[in-house]
Amino acid sequence: MKFEPVAVAISGIVLASLGLFAQDRPTAEAPKFHINSQRLQGTLEKLSEFGRNPEGGVTRLGYSDTELAAREYVIGLMKQAGLEVRTDAAGNLFGRRAGSEKLPVLLFGSHIDSVVKGGNFDGDVGSLGAIEVIHALNEGSLKTRHPLEVVIWINEEGNHFGITTMGSGIAAGVLGPEILERKDEQGLSVADWLRRYGQDPAHLTDARIARGALAGYLELHIEQGPNLEAAKIPIGVVQGIVGLKRWGCVATGFANHAGSTPMDRRKDALAAAARDLLAVRDVVRAEPGRQVGTVGYMKVEPGAVNVIPGRVEFPIELRDLDAAKIDRMWDHIQEKLKQIDKEENVETRCTAIDDIAPARTDLSMQAAIREAAKSFGLATMDLPSGAVHDAQQMAKLAPFGMIFVPSRDGISHSPKEFTSWQDVANGAEVLYRSVLLVDSQLDRR
Ligand code: GLV
Ligand code: MN
Ligand code: MN
């Protein structure tokens, strides 16, 4: 997408005609919200009841009864906003509002699934914020040129089946029928869960979005990091989203008596895995930059106080904006793991389980978000996203942009995750203004 001079002029007209120019207002006057912040807070609070944990926050995995119940609530909200609702073959939820011209769809939304013991803002803000934008357009009797679609992606977190951005990955054509037989811990497959969601697994690829069908993609999301709060900046303009690779590793040693096996005769899988974890950390820290690496859990067998661990299962995850750096770090980690195996008399095997390419946001989308925030009197900061998002799957199909709002203490994937209602409202208003700007600017030629 490129800004044509005519598009720049049009964006000025759009902002002015909608009364969106902050600088047109006397300075004492508060900026005028088009979205209804109380309604948005109310729907977010109601959504937080689905899968609520005693310590706060939710566990609402993608493809679960809890998510199914939450989506019924969201379908109701979409219908109240006048959207024409459909579910695709992967279980992604779409709500459509017609445009005035025959143009591809301008898509925006997020996800309502959470991690295990997650919070109430990750995904929910962008999902219900998108529906709130539709209400605001309806209340202003505004017609957009592009058809608009609100999307609620399924299983963004991938805590179920271990595939992050699963629904959007299927829609982008990156994932296909090869995932259907993947099983969860209850022995249910992706295909089983699709049937529970009313879909026919044989038609999974019908969920693919055709090339050319999308004009652009926008997503509002909490930052999930500390930068905006620390800088006291209400709106983040995302420059790019990190790529991620994950491996599932198994260290195999020998389970033996913890009392009678001398220290030099042991094949302790946990000792090796613990050293592997530290090796991951050392490699990731060895070069400058924002790259990160994590071993999120270890499953130790047999797991008894008086038995040397014979088998340990653990994942390794690496993230960076530069895909080549991820590969370079992985090469170093593998060398270290081999050395540790030798020293511990253990065998460690790792297989690739997830691979999401980094994605840069579209420069014109960035400019539109900046302009939208400015028209509402809000300062912006450019920053990368260390969390992955469905938006990076959409990058394969269309130009995309992301709006971030602050996360208190930079905490996310935790019941302590919090974004102030003012920041949530600001984000939704900037999404509303960005949708109008992008709608006016795209497909002008
Ligand atoms: C998803 O939120 C991720 O970044 O893992
Ligand atoms: Mn998210
Ligand atoms: Mn998340």
pLDDT at 265: 97
CA of 158 to the centre of ligand 3 (A): 9
CA distance 97 to 347: 56
Return the residue matching tokens 């994605």.
359
Taking CA atoms, 92 is separated from 51, 125, 303, 326, in Å, by 19, 17, 39, 30
pLDDT at 162: 87
157 lines ligand 1 (CB under 6 A): yes
Are 350 and 248 spatial neighbours (Cβ–Cβ below 8 Å)? yes
168 lines ligand 1 (CB under 6 A): no
pLDDT at 3: 40
Mean predicted confidence (pLDDT) in 138-155:
98
pLDDT at 7: 47
pLDDT digits (tens, 9 = 90+) for 7-31: 445 555 566 655 565 544 445 566 7
Counting from 1 in the atom list of ligand 1, the atom nearest the Cα of 388 is 4
Amino acid occupying residue 419: T
CA 285: distance to chain centroid?
25
Mean predicted confidence (pLDDT) in 273-278:
98
209 lines ligand 1 (CB under 6 A): no
Counting from 1 in the atom list of ligand 1, the atom nearest the Cα of 413 is 2
Mean predicted confidence (pLDDT) in 433-445:
93
CA distance 196 to 87: 13
Mean predicted confidence (pLDDT) in 122-150:
98
Which residues, chain by chain, have CB under 5 Å from ion ligand 2? 122-123
Residue 171, pLDDT above cutoff 90 = yes
242 lines ligand 1 (CB under 6 A): no
244 lines ligand 1 (CB under 6 A): no
The candidate with the shortest Cα–Cα distance to 390, out of 94, 97, 109, 149, is 109
58 lines ligand 1 (CB under 6 A): no
- In this structure, what are the phi and psi dihedrals at residue 331, rounded to the nearest 5 degrees? -60, -45
Beta bridge partners of 319: 244, 292
CA of 127 to the centre of ligand 1 (A): 16
Which residues, chain by chain, have CB under 5 Å from ion ligand 3? 122
pLDDT at 1: 39
Residue 4, pLDDT above cutoff 60 = no
Return the residue matching tokens 């960076």.
320
Peptide bond into 177 cis (omega under 30): no
The residue whose CB lies within 8 Å of the most ligand 1 atoms, and thus the one to mutate among 157, 221, 224, 411, is: 157
pLDDT digits (tens, 9 = 90+) for 77-121: 999 999 999 999 999 999 999 999 999 999 999 999 999 999 999
pLDDT at 179: 96
pLDDT at 405: 98
CA of 356 to the centre of ligand 1 (A): 11
Residue 427, pLDDT above cutoff 70 = yes
423 lines ligand 1 (CB under 6 A): no
pLDDT at 20: 61
pLDDT digits (tens, 9 = 90+) for 41-70: 999 999 999 999 999 999 999 999 999 999
164 lines ligand 1 (CB under 6 A): yes
What percent of the chain is predicted at pLDDT more than 70?
Answer: 93
pLDDT at 54: 97
388 lines ligand 1 (CB under 6 A): yes
CA of 157 to the centre of ligand 1 (A): 6
What percent of the chain is predicted at pLDDT more than 90?
Answer: 91
Average pLDDT, rounded, for the chain: 94
Higher pLDDT, 14 or 327: 327
6-10, 70-74, 86-90, 402-406: which range is least confident on average? 6-10
414 lines ligand 1 (CB under 6 A): no
Mean predicted confidence (pLDDT) in 289-293:
95
pTM of the model: 0.88
The residue whose CB lies within 8 Å of the most ligand 1 atoms, and thus the one to mutate among 61, 112, 388, 411, is: 388
115 lines ligand 1 (CB under 6 A): no
CA of 155 to the centre of ligand 3 (A): 10
Nearest CA to ligand 1 atom 4: 387
Counting from 1 in the atom list of ligand 1, the atom nearest the Cα of 156 is 1
pLDDT at 444: 83
